[in-house]
């Protein structure tokens, strides 16, 4: 055991399709988070955000956690981890309850949230999050924190996120086989939005688009609260596959070419820029133009944004996101991605970087780590009031949950 073990440490574990990232954060006296350790390892056991090989996933988690432990000089006992995949569903619900003693108490809020969660969901799904959008007291709308207010009837409008029970169980199983406990499972785009979105963007209306390796995750915020979530099962791995097929190169080489040289706008790539591409088997490497690479990559990124636009139109939120779109995730770092997104979506677009954390700024200030940093922030908001060792971070009382609802989602 090490010197830092009894300090207020939180660990975010982002188990993605292309990589596993573990970030260790230390909570200062003023409640701010300082990143003290980070570990990353390529992921081999996931497809489209879902675990398909437990052994490979366990090995990737172990390597990432060991690296983070060495950098932070501590032992990790428990983690906050994320979940994604095409099994994720989001829907809006409504709950009503009578107010006891004509003054809203935390118990009244708990009861109205329980009433809102009474919905029909498939037997193989479970509720992951119940996120309050607004509270209504005696037809007075737009209330964010109703505790202490007078009234007779309390209503709540909430956004409910459900996911496959088996997918969540497999993630927990992989983490536990590494000797770790899971404090909580958090929707990945919810964590990313916590890390990269500003409150004024949420108030005005914004869409977060997290383009990862296996999935493209969407989260729409209006009036300061989450209104819609969706997962599109197409992302960076499809770009890698396109490059591998078009240039007849192994997948690993295609991934390196994508990261180092790819551009998703043909206008930004010059014909005279040459790239050496490894061939399959014993064939000699070939030289190709960067413009030819952009001609392969651009149609796939166009498809990403067209599918996202179709989802926004289908859900009815396309005209409610005045602040535009915020891109994050590893596949959003490519040259020309912001310009292409603006051209297709006809909305203001920016690249989202994690904020609100100190320490290791050169490493953490990167869209790749948006989800992991968001897990840290989410965990910090839902910790117990009294400091406790890492192994007990996940135990939350009623007041801690209430504070997390109000502070984290408004």
* pLDDT tens string 326-349: 999 989 999 899 999 999 999 999
pTM of the model: 0.87
d(CA 164, CA 121) in angstroms, rounded, equals 11
Measured in Å, how far apart are the chain's first and last C-alpha atoms? Answer: 39
- Specify the DSSP element, H or E, that contains 376: helix 370-381
> Is residue 399 scored above 80 in pLDDT?
no
Percentage of the residues of the chain whose pLDDT score is greater than 90: 64
Indicate the SS3 state at residue 226. strand
Architecture category of domain 9-86+166-192+354-409 in CATH: 2-Layer Sandwich (3.30)
Mean pLDDT of 68-79: 91
Mean pLDDT of 361-372: 87
Query: Widest CA span of the chain, in angstroms?
Result: 81
Task: Give the residue with greater pLDDT, 100 vs 392.
Answer: 100
Q: Which CATH number is correct for 89-163, 3.60.21.10, 3.40.50.450, 3.20.20.80, 3.30.1490.110?
A: 3.30.1490.110
Partners of residue 357 on adjacent β-strands: 33
Partners of residue 41 on adjacent β-strands: 20
pLDDT one-digit tens code per residue, 126-178: 999 999 999 999 999 989 899 999 999 999 999 999 999 999 999 999 999 99
Q: What is the mean pLDDT of the chain?
A: 88
Would you list the domain boundaries of the chain?
9-86+166-192+354-409, 89-163
Mean pLDDT of 375-402: 59
Q: DSSP labels for 153-212? A: EEEEEEEEEEEEHHHHHHHHHHHHTTT-EEEEEEEHHHHHHHHH--HHHHHH-EEEEEE-
> Is residue 224 scored above 80 in pLDDT?
yes
- Residue count of the chain, please give it: 410
| CA neighbor of 356 nearest in space, from 295, 408, 395, 396 | 408
Confidence of residue 268 (pLDDT cuts 50, 70, 90): confident
Dihedral over Cα of 161, 198, 353, 333: its sign: positive
Indicate the SS3 state at residue 56. helix
Say what the pLDDT of residue 5 is: 47
Instruction: Judge whether 28 and 12 are in contact, CB under 8 Å.
Output: no
């Amino acid at each position: 055991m090490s010197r830092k073990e009894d300090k207020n440490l939180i660990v975010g574990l982002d188990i993605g399709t292309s990589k596993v990232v573990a970030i260790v954060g230390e909570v200062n006296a003023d409640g701010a988070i300082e990143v003290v350790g980070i570990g990353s390892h390529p992921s081999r056991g996931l497809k489209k955000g879902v675990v398909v090989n437990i052994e490979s996933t366990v090995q990737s988690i172990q390597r990432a956690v060991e690296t983070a432990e060495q950098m932070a000089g501590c032992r990790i006992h428990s983690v906050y981890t994320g979940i994604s995949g095409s099994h994720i569903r989001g829907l809006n619900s409504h709950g009503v309850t009578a107010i006891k003693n004509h003054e809203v108490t935390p118990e009244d809020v708990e009861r109205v949230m329980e009433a809102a969660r009474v919905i029909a969901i498939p037997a193989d799904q479970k509720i992951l999050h119940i996120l309050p959008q607004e509270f209504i007291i005696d037809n007075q709308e737009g209330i964010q924190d109703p505790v202490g207010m007078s009234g007779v009837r309390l209503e709540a409008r909430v956004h409910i996120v459900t996911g496959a029970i088996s997918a969540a169980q497999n993630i927990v199983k992989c983490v536990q086989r590494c000797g770790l406990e899971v404090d909580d499972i958090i929707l990945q785009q919810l964590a990313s939005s916590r890390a990269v979105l500003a409150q004024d963007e949420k108030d005005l209306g914004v869409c977060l688009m997290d383009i990862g390796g296996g999935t493209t995750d969407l989260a729409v915020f209006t009036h300061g609260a989450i209104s819609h979530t969706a997962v599109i099962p197409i992302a960076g791995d499809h770009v890698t596959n396109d490059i591998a097929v078009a240039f007849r190169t192994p997948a690993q080489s295609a991934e390196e070419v994508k990261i180092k040289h790819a551009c998703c706008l043909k206008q930004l790539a010059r014909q005279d820029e040459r790239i050496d591409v490894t061939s399959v088997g014993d064939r000699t490497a070939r030289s190709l133009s960067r413009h030819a690479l952009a001609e392969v990559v651009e149609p796939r990124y166009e498809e990403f944004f067209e599918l996202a636009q179709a989802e926004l139109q289908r859900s009815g939120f396309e005209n409610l996101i005045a602040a535009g779109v915020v891109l994050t995730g590893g596949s959003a770092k490519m040259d020309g991605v912001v310009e292409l997104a603006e051209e297709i979506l006809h909305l203001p677009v920016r690249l989202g970087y994690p904020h609100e954390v100190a320490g290791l700024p050169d490493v953490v200030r990167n869209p790749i780590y948006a989800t992991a940093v968001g897990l840290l922030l989410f965990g910090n908001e839902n910790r117990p009031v009294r400091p406790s060792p890492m192994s007990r971070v996940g135990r939350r009382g009623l007041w801690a949950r209430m504070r997390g609802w109000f502070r984290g989602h408004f």
